[in-house]
Chain A
Amino acid sequence: MPITYTSGEQIEVYRFSIPVTVGVPLLALFLQAFVPRRLPFFSIFDLPLLVTIFFAMARRNPISGLFTGAAIGLVQDMLGAYPIGIYGIAKTVVGYGASSLGAKLDVENAGARLLVTLGFYLLHQAVYFTVARGMVSLTLNWSWSREILAGLANAVLGVGLYFLLDRFKQRT
């Protein structure tokens, strides 16, 4: 039974097997690259971000969270056309934030997961835009309506995905 107190000692910390640790992020990256070619609307989702948030919140360890985010973000950058590091930086921040939050709050219920995912999606986009505009000189237009809409879509998908990934959790 998940504990809902905010004490660090009482909150469950989970770990994952190596195949899940490697395979799930790779599968998310693959789907993110493959599915939008068939279903263009799918590009609104950011599966690697959802996976980053999930692992970070489940492990509740800021260091492992930031490294998970950095690794997933950097691989996502490698598949793209822009310089490597934009997604890496954004997901590092999200990984750190999600695991820090996971260590303090109960993020096991759907409502909390929805809000946390929406918040981290916006944080991710803000960091991405800042780095892309400030360092890489990409011209990006920030649209609150679009970002909130995309954030909500990701949050809804995230809630379903997290419950699916919960099956791979192993208690420490």
Chain B
Amino acid sequence: MESVLGRYRNLTILVGVLFLQVLGLAVQVKRTGDAENTRLIRVWAVDAITPLERALVWAQNDTSNLWHNYFFLRGVRAENRQLKQQIEQMRLEQVRLSEDAEQAHRLQQLLSFKEQVIAKTVPAQVIGSSGSDLSRSIYIDKGSNEGIATDMAVITAGGIVGKVLRVYPSTSLVLMINDQTSGVGAMLEKSRLQGVLKGTPDGAVILERVMSDEQVAPGDTVLSSGGDQIFPKGLPVGTVTKVSPGREMFLKIEVKPAADLSRLEEVLVVTEKQEQNAVVDSGVRVRAADILAQRLPSVPDKPVADAAAAAGASGTDKVVPPGQETGAGTKPLTPVESSVKPEAAQHAATPSIAKFAGVGPTAATPAGAKAVSTGSAQGVPVNGQTGNSQTGNSQAAKKTAPKPASGDPVVNSGSPNAAASNAAGGLAKPAPARPKPPVTQPNPQPPATEDNPN
């Protein structure tokens, strides 16, 4: 026996080493919690590799930042201008969306629905991968020290990325949605059909478990359904690229992930989700008026004594919501009177978006405020209304008038016509013209003012 072992010593050792590895593999496969069984040795390997990755990523980012932020600034001004215009448009888009969301919340509340919201996220940087093209996983530079735990969702602004598979003190392993062992509850946005999103061996993503008699077309958007208890409902997952008959009675739906999984650099880890009854936000939500107010010209703070004197002189004071006060600058407007409470003023003066968008004058909506708000809408639709031709003037006024602290209601002594004329450009001093932002609606309607309520 000894002579046989001696003669085949190399082969015996090979068989022994292979046997041990097969045994170890079998133990891991049999036990479901293999992550815990092999945790220690994985920590060693990760600790040996990731510090170098982290250092390289850090050096790379710093070099890149130095170059892009200090040396290579070509085209930045033009880009900045473009981005500002984009922000303007998005702000007003946000107004519409917040109204829709509010309506949805009210309906959810009526039906006692529970909703899952992302309460807290931790940004993380991708520092490496698993080192195999058969396993789609990445390493991020945040771990248990930053509150990361297993089964947390990892997302980007584009869409979902995957879930946290293993956590180490300062790094985590994320299993991406295109790995064949991953599974995500998903649904089609239009038809609300639900299925399971899985990765394939070659790194593609398919939606399974959708019956073959359902209508699914390329281009349909896929969202997370929330059924996996990892990803909150409604996050973008991807777009359907191909639909073909699959196994049994199901369709094989190929999906292009919304997030670019091959070029991930920064991700967000959802560390806290909350399940709550749908509630209607009563006071803190962003209203159209609040957003528009940020774009309006305003007045400098004045002593209270002046304000009281001016108020006494005018006699027909009206409360203007914060930041909504006049678009002109013909004469300085009186600042807030101490007796006027900001919240009350806000609610009294801005009951709805429609009123500020110039749907029609109401008792609660002072003419000056209305005229100004329409004057500064700059052609961007708010509740179906579009802007006006006074944009340039309002912009000019904005440039000449300093801005007060936000949230201060103002007592306006002007008459509706005066306010309207202020908004229309009755400036005491000429102001430099500014370029007109693009109009988003093809047929802008005339401004809604006191004289012309349409």
Contact = CB atoms under 8 A, between A and B. Distances in A.
Contacts of A89: 18, 21-22, 25
Nearest to B263: A40
Given A33-B130, A33-B131, A80 B137 contact: yes
B394 to A, nearest CB: 48
Contact of B128 (A37, A76, A82, A86): A37
Contacts of A48: 131
A81 interface: yes
Given A86-B25, A89-B25, A140-B201, A80 B132 contact: yes
Contact of A36 (B26, B129, B175): B129
Interface stretch (B42-50, B92-100, B445-453): B42-50
Main SS of the interface on chain A?
Answer: helix
Interface residues of B, number: 51
A49 B165 CA distance: 26
B49 A70 contact: no
A15 to B, nearest CB: 18
Interface string A25-57: 010011011101100100110001000000000
B130 A79 contact: yes
Contacts of B10: 62-63, 66, 96, 100
Nearest to B132: A80
B450 to A, nearest CB: 61
B134 A63 contact: no
A66 B17 contact: yes
A105 interface: no
Contact of A83 (B34, B56, B130, B179): B34
A44 B56 CA distance: 22
A87 interface: yes
A81 B52 CA distance: 20
B128 to A, nearest CB: 4
Given A37-B126, A140-B201, A83 B25 contact: yes
A19 B132 CA distance: 25
Interface residues of A, number: 46
Contacts of A63: 9-10, 13
Interface string B147-159: 0000000000000
Contacts of A141: 201-202
A101 interface: no
B180 A138 contact: yes
Contact of A139 (B18, B24, B139, B201): B201
Nearest to A93: B18
Interface in A120-149: 128, 131-132, 135-141
A67 B20 CA distance: 12
Contacts of B18: 89, 92-93
A109 B6 CA distance: 33
Nearest to B45: A78
A75 interface: yes
A79 B44 CA distance: 10
A94 to B, nearest CB: 11
B48 A26 contact: yes
Given A62-B14, A80-B135, A81-B179, A34 B25 contact: no
B177 interface: no
A78 B46 contact: yes
Given A75-B45, A92-B17, A131-B25, A87 B132 contact: yes
Contact of A79 (B17, B25, B131, B264): B131
Contact of B175 (A29, A67, A81): A81
Contacts of A85: 21-22, 24-25, 28
A88 interface: yes
B328 interface: no
B21 A26 contact: no
A138 B128 CA distance: 23
A63 B53 CA distance: 32
A84 B38 contact: yes
Contacts of B34: 83
B210 interface: no
B149 to A, nearest CB: 17
Query: Which one of A33, A44, A63, A93 has the highest number of Cβ atoms from chain B below 10 Å of its Cβ?
Result: A33
Interface of A: 26, 29-30, 32-34, 36-37, 40, 43-44, 48, 62-63, 66-67, 70, 74-76, 78-89, 92-93, 96, 100, 128, 131-132, 135-141
19 contacts: A26-B49, A33-B49, A34-B52, A36-B129, A44-B133, A48-B131, A62-B14, A63-B10, A81-B137, A82-B135, A83-B28, A83-B29, A84-B28, A86-B25, A89-B21, A93-B14, A96-B10, A135-B25, A139-B200
Given A84-B28, A132-B134, 17 more contacts: A33-B53, A34-B52, A34-B129, A36-B133, A43-B129, A63-B10, A66-B13, A66-B17, A74-B21, A76-B131, A78-B42, A81-B179, A83-B25, A87-B132, A92-B21, A135-B25, A141-B202
